């Protein structure tokens, strides 16, 4: 197993709800706040809701360097939104009449003069410019706290949030009125450094337990010896009676690519992904990714990354920033490995493009723009997310413009929906995770998958795992708590507080659930770490030197698995149909109405499904009950755990519905 030095990165924080946002579905993103004085304009939307006096630990050190991002307004933002909607809707006369990046930039991007004016303002204030994308939608900079305070007429403070210390403006930043017309949004807080990979390990301590320091003390010896199974039901063990039985399968060792393809009915000779490119965005970069994938493939009898199947656009390690805030390269290495090996496993001849970010903050935007501004791929998998929608309104404003560009160019963005259910434990209220909650991306939820010894799919149910500890007292087994136990992990989703219901969800998402708002996820794929995916890598043992240890394999899961699996499936559909799908949601929901058999409707099991898992690190044995995801529930038809369901690639191709 991989050693515990690979941090989980699942830090959480208590935030308030963002009150402003939006996109082409209806809520306004226009304009800035009124001028605070005749010569200044406030940007109140850049103060995050968690920057409160209760969390304030005082002014940030004046000489500390921080990252900031200034977003520039699109020319004809309404026209850009209308284009994104029209080219993505199957009923539109201009369906799939995508613009090239050069066309989109020429028509909608801020002018070079506008971008140059912002750059001049920042450099005059002593800031260093980190990035200006070809689309000129934003300028990323780094500056000292003192320089930021002076330029923006505010004071940056440090805020203590659930064990993390983050910097944010204590009052609304402002800019001179002479430049404010060239700036639509300002982001100078560190909230987005809580961006985390949406992956989990079966042995991992859930985020809620980490926050509350409720790590259980292990038994001297496990209550039950539970060898992991190579397929569902390979091994069974006797446990205390639950759900009318005493025999339960053990947790999975990690399915191989061959098993995933078999369960989803994919032929390695037919469903190859040849001619397609799938891009992956994560922070930092694994120094051994190509070597790791090829070692993994050789050990499992899979196709290697021959020729130019993997291309990387990555920063030099000397350019990595904010590693402490972002949990470091070792944490993100597991994510990158999972993404690449999962896509390669589903679509073994598809080209893979990995674009690494310099950090988990504005660096993510820079990585995204490298793809969008050259259309390096039309499928992009993003297995990371924020804690709920607790991000500043100004940041959302800038992000939605990037997503609008992607849709207008025919680029499908796939985001993992999250791994902590409704986020109540972190936030105190239910919320889907942003960016997956954006109406301009496809949010991928999660399922638990049972595959038998012949590679057949036994069942697929919603991913939500609760655990009840099993102990042995004088030779008698019992549970320490009422079933199903304590929530551990589960697919994110729910009703957005930011976005109105997009047209494509109407008539599919129950009105009683949506209440006029966007609901996520949209679709689902395998995610449960207890029925997870086997990955292999040489783990980073030192973030400073990027030194690695010997090659190791482990089982892993999370919607970080679901997103690349679904992205790989879409590559297979594009290969077979000879088409570019682009932003997929309007098409997927339309197909769900006209050809519902294309999706496997993930519904609750008549009898609860459960398995037994013993933690190698703590010795704790638990009965894991599946499909128990906080307040989110699977249901017939659309639900907020699995969306419209898990796609059947062969039916999608045979029906001709997805084209």
Q: Please write the tens of the pLDDT for every residue from 618-630.
A: 899 999 999 999 9
Domain ranges of the chain: 40-193, 207-655
Instruction: List residues bridging with 553 in a β-sheet.
Output: 536
DSSP assignments along 146-175, one per residue: HHHHHHHTS-EEEEEETTEEEEEESS--EE
Instruction: List residues bridging with 557 in a β-sheet.
Output: 200
pLDDT (average), residues 70-77: 97
pLDDT at 38: 65
Q: pLDDT category, 162, cuts 50, 70, 90?
A: low
Cα 504 from Cα 591, distance rounded (Å): 11
pLDDT (average), residues 236-262: 97
Q: Please answer whether residues 469 and 483 qualify as being in contact, where contact means their C-beta atoms are separated by less than 8 angstroms.
A: no
| Least confident residue range of 4-8, 408-412, 600-604 | 4-8
Q: How many CB atoms lie within 10 A of CB 475?
A: 5
pLDDT at 640 over 70: yes
The closest of 388, 59, 369, 3 to 192, measured between CA atoms, is: 388
Per-residue pLDDT tens over the stretch 557-616: 999 999 999 999 999 999 999 999 999 999 999 999 999 999 999 999 999 999 999 998
Q: Please answer whether residues 235 and 227 qualify as being in contact, where contact means their C-beta atoms are separated by less than 8 angstroms.
A: yes
Cα 565 from Cα 414, distance rounded (Å): 10
C-alpha 346, offset from chain centre: 19
Q: pLDDT category, 35, cuts 50, 70, 90?
A: very low
pLDDT at 68: 97
| Least confident residue range of 77-91, 197-211, 270-284 | 197-211
pLDDT at 3: 36
Tokens at 374, concatenated: 């050259």
Q: Tell me the percentage of the chain whose pLDDT exceeds 90.
A: 83
Tokens at 63, concatenated: 């000489």
Q: How many CB atoms lie within 10 A of CB 482?
A: 7
| SS3 letters across 536-570 | EECCEEECCCCEECCCEEEEEECHHHHHHHHHHHH
pLDDT at 207: 57
DSSP label at 190? S
Please, what is the average pLDDT of the chain?
91
pLDDT (average), residues 204-230: 65
pLDDT at 209 over 90: no
* Phi/psi of residue 629, nearest 5 degrees: -105, 85
Cα 99 from Cα 84, distance rounded (Å): 10
pLDDT at 642 over 90: yes
Q: Are strands 464-473 and 523-526 parallel, antiparallel or unpaired?
A: unpaired
Region label for 327, one of left (φ > 0), alpha (ψ between -120 and 50) or beta (otherwise) = left
| Most confident of the following: 4-13, 35-44, 313-322 | 313-322
Looking at per-residue pLDDT, the higher value among 107 and 195 belongs to 107
Q: Are strands 236-242 and 245-249 parallel, antiparallel or unpaired?
A: antiparallel
pLDDT (average), residues 527-545: 97
pLDDT (average), residues 290-318: 95
3-state secondary structure of 411: coil
pLDDT at 16: 30
pLDDT at 569: 98
pLDDT at 195: 81
Whole-number CA gyration radius for the chain:
24
3-state secondary structure of 586: helix
pLDDT at 205 over 80: no
pLDDT at 267: 85
* Phi/psi of residue 562, nearest 5 degrees: -60, -40
Per-residue pLDDT tens over the stretch 435-464: 999 999 999 999 999 999 999 999 999 999
pLDDT (average), residues 639-659: 94
Cα 542 from Cα 524, distance rounded (Å): 35
Cβ-count burial 116-131 (b if 16+ within 10 Å, e if not): ebbbebbeeeebeebb
The closest of 482, 563, 456, 557 to 520, measured between CA atoms, is: 563
Peptide bond into 327 cis (omega under 30): no
Helices (H) and strands (E) in the chain, counts: 16, 34
Rounded to 10°, the helix 77-88/393-409 angle is 50
Q: Please answer whether residues 512 and 432 qualify as being in contact, where contact means their C-beta atoms are separated by less than 8 angstroms.
A: no
Cα 381 from Cα 444, distance rounded (Å): 10
Tokens at 113, concatenated: 């003069």
Considering the domain delimited by 207-655, tell me its CATH architecture: 3-Layer(aba) Sandwich (3.40)
Q: How many CB atoms lie within 10 A of CB 612?
A: 25
Q: pLDDT category, 520, cuts 50, 70, 90?
A: very high
Region label for 49, one of left (φ > 0), alpha (ψ between -120 and 50) or beta (otherwise) = alpha
Instruction: List residues bridging with 172 in a β-sheet.
Output: none
Tokens at 565, concatenated: 């699996």
pLDDT at 214 over 90: no
Per-residue pLDDT tens over the stretch 461-496: 999 999 999 999 998 999 999 999 999 999 999 999
| Least confident residue range of 34-43, 422-431, 436-445 | 34-43
Q: Please answer whether residues 444 and 415 qualify as being in contact, where contact means their C-beta atoms are separated by less than 8 angstroms.
A: yes
Q: pLDDT category, 197, cuts 50, 70, 90?
A: confident
What's the first-to-final CA gap in the chain, in angstroms?
A: 42
| Least confident residue range of 55-64, 126-135, 193-202, 468-477 | 193-202
Q: Are strands 646-647 and 599-600 parallel, antiparallel or unpaired?
A: antiparallel
pLDDT at 6: 35
pLDDT at 279: 98
3-state secondary structure of 265: coil
The closest of 281, 279, 356 to 316, measured between CA atoms, is: 356
Looking at per-residue pLDDT, the higher value among 475 and 529 belongs to 529
pLDDT at 28 over 50: no
Report the predicted TM-score, pTM, of the whole model to 2 decimal places: 0.93
pLDDT (average), residues 352-379: 98
pLDDT at 18 over 50: no
DSSP label at 131? E
Q: Maximum Cα–Cα distance for the chain, whole Å?
A: 79
pLDDT at 204: 79
């Amino acid at each position: 197993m991989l050693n515990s030095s690979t941090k989980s990165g699942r830090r959480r924080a208590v935030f308030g709800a963002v009150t402003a946002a939006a996109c082409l579905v209806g809520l306004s993103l226009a304009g800035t706040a009124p001028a605070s004085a005749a010569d200044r304009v406030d940007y109140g939307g850049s103060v995050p809701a968690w920057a409160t006096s209760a969390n304030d630990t005082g002014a940030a050190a004046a000489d500390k360097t921080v990252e900031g991002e200034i977003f520039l307004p699109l020319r004809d933002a309404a026209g850009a939104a209308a284009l994104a909607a029209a080219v993505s809707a199957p009923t539109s006369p201009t369906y799939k009449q995508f613009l090239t990046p050069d066309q989109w930039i020429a028509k909608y991007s801020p002018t070079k003069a506008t971008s140059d004016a912002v750059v001049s303002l920042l450099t005059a204030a002593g800031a260093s410019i980190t990035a200006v994308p070809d689309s000129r939608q934003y300028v990323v900079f780094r500056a000292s706290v003192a320089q930021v305070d002076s330029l923006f007429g505010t004071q940056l403070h440090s805020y203590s949030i659930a064990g993390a210390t983050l910097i944010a403006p204590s009052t609304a930043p402002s800019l001179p009125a002479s430049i404010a017309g060239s700036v639509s949004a300002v982001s100078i807080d560190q909230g987005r450094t809580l961006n985390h990979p949406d992956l989990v390990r079966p042995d991992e301590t859930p985020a809620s337990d980490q926050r509350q320091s409720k790590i259980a003390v292990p038994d001297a010896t496990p209550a039950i010896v539970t060898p992991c199974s190579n397929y569902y039901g390979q091994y069974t063990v006797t446990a205390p009676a639950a759900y009318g039985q005493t025999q339960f399968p053990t947790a999975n060792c990690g399915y191989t690519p061959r098993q995933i393809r078999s369960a989803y009915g994919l032929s390695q000779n037919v469903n190859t992904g040849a001619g397609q490119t799938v891009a992956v965005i994560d922070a930092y970069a694994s120094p051994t990714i190509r070597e790791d994938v090829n070692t993994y493939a050789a050990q499992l009898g899979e196709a290697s990354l021959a020729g130019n199947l993997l291309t990387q656009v990555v920063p030099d390690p000397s350019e990595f920033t904010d590693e402490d805030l972002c949990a470091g390269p070792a944490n993100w290495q597991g994510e990158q490995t999972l993404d690449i090996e999962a896509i390669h496993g589903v679509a073994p001849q598809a080209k893979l493009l990995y674009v690494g970010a310099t950090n988990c903050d504005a660096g993510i935007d820079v990585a995204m723009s490298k793809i969008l501004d050259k259309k390096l791929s039309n499928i992009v998998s993003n297995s990371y997310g924020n804690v709920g929608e607790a991000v500043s309104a100004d940041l959302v404003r800038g992000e939605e413009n990037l997503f609008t560009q992607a849709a207008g160019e025919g680029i499908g963005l796939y985001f993992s929906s999250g791994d902590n259910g409704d986020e109540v434990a972190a936030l105190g209220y239910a919320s889907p995770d942003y960016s997956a909650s954006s109406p301009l991306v496809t949010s991928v939820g999660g399922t638990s998958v049972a595959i038998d010894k012949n590679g057949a799919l036994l069942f697929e149910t919603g991913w939500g795992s609760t655990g009840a500890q099993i102990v042995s007292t004088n030779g008698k087994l019992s549970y320490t708590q009422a079933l199903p136990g304590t929530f551990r992990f589960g697919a994110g989703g729910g009703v957005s507080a930011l976005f109105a219901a997009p047209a494509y969800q109407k008539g599919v998402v129950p009105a009683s659930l949506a209440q006029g708002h966007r609901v996520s996820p949209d679709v689902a794929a395998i995610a449960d770490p207890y029925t997870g995916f086997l990955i292999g890598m040489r783990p980073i043992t030192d973030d400073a030197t990027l030194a690695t240890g010997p090659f190791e394999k482990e089982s892993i899961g999370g919607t970080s698995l679901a997103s690349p699996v679904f992205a790989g499936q879409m590559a297979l559909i594009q290969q077979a149909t000879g088409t570019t799908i682009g932003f997929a949601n309007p098409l997927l929901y339309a197909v769900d109405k006209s050809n519902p058999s294309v999706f496997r409707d993930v519904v609750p099991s008549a009898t609860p499904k459960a398995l037994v898992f013993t933690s190698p690190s703590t010795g704790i044995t638990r009965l894991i009950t599946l499909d128990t995801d906080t307040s989110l529930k699977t249901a017939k038809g659309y639900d907020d755990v699995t969306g419209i369901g898990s796609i059947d690639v062969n039916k999608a191709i045979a029906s001709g519905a997805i084209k």
